[in-house]
Amino acid sequence: MNIGVIGAGSWGTTLADLLAKNGHAVTLWAYEHDLVERMRKNRKNDLYLPDFTLDDNLDFTSELREAAADKEIVVLVAPSQVLRAVVRQAAAYFTDDTVLVSAAKGIENDTLMPMSEVLKEVLPEKRYRRSAYISGPTFAREVAAEVPTALTVASDDEEIARLVQKTFSCFYFRIYRSSDVVGVELGGALKNVIALAAGVSDGLGYGYNARAALITRGLVEMTRIGVAMGADERTFMGLSGMGDLVLTCTGDLSRNRSVGLELGRGRKLQDILSGMKMVAEGVKTTLSAYQLAKRLKVETPIIEQMYQILFENKEPRQAVTDLMQRSLKAEMD
């Protein structure tokens, strides 16, 4: 198949390389023209995935038209807060037959929309209908190293979901289907907020008990928001929910956990972010998640404390104390 991948961070580059290895003709779009030139010359993404040589079936461009025009599938891997702008620019090159696969994880700050709602607002309905959303427990470096990985594709159209399954899956990359677009998307977005909190806990030196509690109660908060938005609560027990949450809260490759670790150790947020090449989606998603929970009238104490740490300069140790001293209740309330 002819496939375009828009976004050449570590995850976009990894997905483009995987699709090329699967025998497809793939064009990877990067914003940085100089990065494109280096990838063409060295077949390495030296900014975001420097340790891996990229497949010969993979081409590179800094022109959106070349990544979006005449493509059977276009994979969208731009950061969630800029996806709307990128799709608006690229949409002129899509056809009514183009299948769009979003691999972005986040909730838009201004509108509090998941990426599916952003696409629905930007695209004509007949083009939006040919969209799918992939999410699950994936570190780009491990996928690039061909470590066995499983995730989920969600679409309102089962034929589209099956096409994505067939196109992406291989001996080390397995995709399951779902029809719960909202649930799959929210799991992938909200887990980043809980990963920040888990990192804060680890940075404070609180150990495994505290981390396990944060993961478990964090899943409750993710599920509450999802159900309030019409998702199936069972989705949050799957790969895009619990699976991604466990990975991101415990894995040393997690950017969001790493930011939380540094916050717990006393560093300021801006100092942490200024030293990072890649985006920690959880920081901006915390703002969206906090506001979304308020809009939905859903109780999310971990997300609320994480919001106060990030945006109101609350001391992390005090945030944990406040969580622990809330009024006692039944676990399943």
Domain ranges in the chain with CATH number 1.10.1040.10: 189-324
pTM of the model: 0.95
Homologous superfamily of domain range 189-324:
N-(1-d-carboxylethyl)-l-norvaline Dehydrogenase; domain 2 (1.10.1040.10)
Taking only the tens place, the pLDDT of each residue in 205-216 is: 999 999 999 999
User: Which of 166, 191, 294, 297 does the annotation list as catalytic?
Assistant: 191
The pLDDT of residue 281 is: 84
Read off the tokens for 47. 């900014």
Rounded Cα distance between 182 and 190, Å, is: 12
Backbone conformation region of residue 43, classed left if phi is above 0, alpha if psi is from -120 to 50, else beta: left
Summary mean pLDDT of the chain: 96
pLDDT above 80: residue 280: no
| The token pair that represents 42 in the structure block | 């060295």
Cα-to-chain-centroid distance, residue 198: 17
pLDDT in tens, 73-102: 999 999 998 999 999 999 999 999 999 999
Return the pLDDT at 268. 93
**φ and ψ of 135, to 5 deg:** -160, 155
Helix (H) / strand (E) element for 25: namely: strand 25-29
pLDDT average, residue stretch 92-117: 95
- Rounded mean pLDDT, 129-141: 97
Alpha-carbon distance of 161 to 17, in angstroms, equals: 20
Q: What is the pLDDT of residue 278?
A: 66
Longest dimension (CA), the chain: 61
- For 312, the 3-state DSSP assignment is coil
Query: If we measure between CA atoms, which residue out of 278, 293, 117, 111 comes closest to residue 194?
Result: 293
Looking at 158-172, 192-206, 228-242, 275-289, which range is the least confident one? 275-289
CATH number at 2-179: 3.40.50.720
Per-residue DSSP letter, 327: P
Examine the residue annotation and report whether 71 is marked as an active-site residue of this protein: no
pLDDT value of residue 130:
97
Residues of the chain with CATH 3.40.50.720: 2-179
